[in-house]
Structure 1
């Protein structure tokens, strides 16, 4: 029990620290792209597309490595690469070097994607991990608050310095986890067999894909991940430019950091409040109730996305942005809990999550350029509205899920 609590606390501490450093970067990086590097709408989306292509290529290989070599190894390597990528991004403010940085930190992201969920599930047990995931979202959002505040303060002086400090933070986080993480799971139980590394990997991958083929619910999870990826890339890359267009002339570029950071700060506070309430619901999650809740959440999300796209005043934009981001946190967390419960073979858990991440990347690669091109040749608000419409098929999927048996 004590060991489980210590492991959960380590997981929650990395949730806090990783989001602290992420948001020191993310609070300012789009402003960095727009104001310092002077990217246009299409370039902004292309940066995201390069990142998602990297995720697409590396997600499954790094997931297999995490299951075969060890989750601790994969997580430490991942945070090291994320730190290196952000350091290059902050040090060299050119479009080309930023594309290179996306490749490096994208590989790092795929190393931790799935490996973190698989590690904590094996360490504390499937019956206890749901509450850890929900608490993790709260810790992440507290990290967001501090990261946003630091990003605003440091970014007001220099957006580059904020990115560089966040990058160095990730390198220290990797060192901290290397020294303190334990992994009690038997790493690669198949090592005692005569199978080669390649044969083990092939066997593991074949087993995972067979599971998806045999289980229609798992296939629905992948389809939802793809649709979410299709809509999300356009929104994530264009929302700041949309706000900048609406308030153009009323604020200087220097003061945009307060708007961008402030709205993200308030969003994190609301998210913490919402998850404090949802934490009470984590003991026993019934799939039918989960499907109904997620379907309603996505319906509200689509409406909020459309309203955000066509709002013409700052207050309206901020309100709809908060609704959008809080709902995204809710849907992401509970879909991960749902997916985790569907995985029956713990030894391949990281690979399952990597397949899901790869499908999400495919969606982002397809949807991002579409939103970028629409925005480039019409307007950003039309591009954002198109992203909202691309999300709508997810409502029909949850309707079909309600007709399936648990």
Structure 2
């Protein structure tokens, strides 16, 4: 009997509550309505990213030591509290406090959710279906984000604070879902209760475990590329003269395309050798960057769509590579390492591409980003390419 199958639906709800973002489409207007300029807005988002960076590894370690369920409960409570704080806050420093709480909530959920999913399936002897479920959960998140983009406009018409009230309610739905999870029993081969031990495990991963190192770096480099691309989409819309009212519609279409391809990622994985799977995804993502940079026009929107479709395949497939090579007792920590690398990499490359967009051209930013991704990804997977296994 599948004892842990109910965890799947709970994790769907956690993902949907996280991605059903009613705030994002109008958050800049909200900040400006509260007397903030763009500089303060970017400082605020930098603080959010720093909160995630500082807590990413500790939260993963806590998930491995304290338990995935307890960590997810804490993360969902903090995530809800952050939006509650926003609902009744005014001014920069009050928003800083809310962003720190939201960043902490994100960190405690990140990594623990994928670890809980994999271990629930493994406990029911269904770990082979991980990509299928990870893809569907990712898909559910993207569908939620797409629907939220449309809904947010109607809520903002009432007031710019109304989306925050509803966002708190949506985020709070994840709390009972986390409480009703069933923690699988992990058969740890070693004790990891010391920080020294977990630091040693991470160091050992990057120095000795080639397959796991390649899997983490490949997933992280690709995650950075997809995150960076998302921030270049709206400038693309603006340059081609797209009416503002169509921004939300096309944003919804792009997110729906990720949702559809993620849902069917499990059908893609295993049809080719791992080497060909990796090359297929990496080359198509790089082509998405290059093509978008060379053809900035309404016809070029098809390349944005191509990129997002391949992105939907990449996330669950590359995460599964990490899970295949990771010991159960440090799974959440290793997945948090992936997320940490993405945040740090984006913090380095994002400002460079932003400067390039402002002072050179958006075309150059796309092509530079594509080149960086292609070189980095191929360098990361070179041990696999050379081995031919």
- Alignment CA distance shift 1:94-1:137 (3 Å): same
- In structure 2, what is the Cα distance between the partners aligned to 1:307 and 1:35? 38
Partner residue, 1:324? 307
Q: Indicate which of 248, 268, 271 corresponds to 1:261.
A: 248
TM-score by length of 2: 0.84
Structure ranking higher on relative contact order (CA contacts 8 Å, 6+ apart): 1
Is 1:220 aligned with 2:214? yes
Matched, 1:342 2:325: yes
* TM-score under structure 1 length normalisation: 0.81
Aligned equivalent of 1:307: 291
For 2:106 and 2:95, locate their aligned partners in 1 and report how far apart those are by CA, in whole Å.
Answer: 16
Q: CA deviation at 1:295?
A: 2.1
Offset at 1:224? Answer: 2.9
Report what 1:139 is aligned to.
140
> In the alignment, is residue 278 of structure 1 matched against residue 279 of structure 2?
no
1:294 aligns with 2:278: yes
Cα 1:181/1:229, change in 2 over 3 Å? closer
Shift of 1:374: 2.4
Question: Aligned partners of 2:307 and 2:35: how far apart in 1?
Answer: 28
Q: Is the 8 A contact 1:229 1:363 kept in 2?
A: no
CA pair 306-31 structure 1, distance change in 2 beyond 3 A: farther
- SS at 1:392 equivalent: helix
Report what 2:55 is aligned to.
Answer: 58
Residue 12 (structure 2) aligns with: 12
1:390-401 matches, within 5 Å, as: 390-393=372-375, 394-398=377-381, 400-401=383-384
What pairs with 1:118-133 in structure 2 (closer than 5 Å)? 118-125=115-122, 126-133=127-134
Contact 2:60 2:333 in 1 (8 A): yes
Distance (whole Å) between structure 2 residues aligned to residue 379 and residue 37 of structure 1: 30
Secondary structure at the counterpart of residue 182 of structure 1: coil
Matches within 5 A, 1:118-267: 118-125=115-122, 126-174=127-175, 176-185=176-185, 200-228=194-222, 231-232=225-226, 234-247=228-241, 251=243, 256=244, 258-267=245-254
Helix, strand or coil at the partner of 2:63? helix
For 1:362, the equivalent position in structure 2 comes to: 344
Q: Is the 8 A contact 1:228 1:363 kept in 2?
A: no
Match of 1:84 in 2: 81
Q: Where does 1:37-48 land on structure 2 (aligned, <5 Å)? A: 40=38, 47-48=44-45
Mapped partners of 1:93, 1:121: distance in 2: 41
Q: Is the 8 A contact 1:45 1:234 kept in 2?
A: no
Once the two structures are TM-superposed, the CA of residue 58 in structure 1 deviates from its matched residue by 1.2
**What 5-or-longer segments of structure 2 have no aligned partner?**
none
- How far does residue 337 in structure 1 lie from its aligned partner after superposition? 0.9
What is the count of residue pairs matched by the alignment?
A: 384
Whether the aligned pair in 2 keeps the contact of 1:86 and 1:163 (CA below 8 Å) is: yes
Range that drifts further, 57-66 or 367-376 = 367-376
How far apart are the structure 2 equivalents of 1:304 and 1:5?
37
The one-character-per-residue Cα deviations of 1:108-158 (angstroms, maximum 9, x if unpaired) are 111111111111222221334332212223322332343233223324554
Q: Work out whether residues 45 and 369 of structure 1, in 8 Å CA contact, stay in contact via their aligned partners in 2.
A: no
| Alpha-carbon shift at residue 261 of structure 1 (Å) | 2.2
Distance 1:401 1:168 in 2: 46
| Distance in 2 (alpha carbons) for counterparts of 1:134 and 1:229 | 15
Seen in structure 2, the aligned counterparts of structure 1 residues 370 and 48 have a Cα distance that, compared at 3 Å, is farther
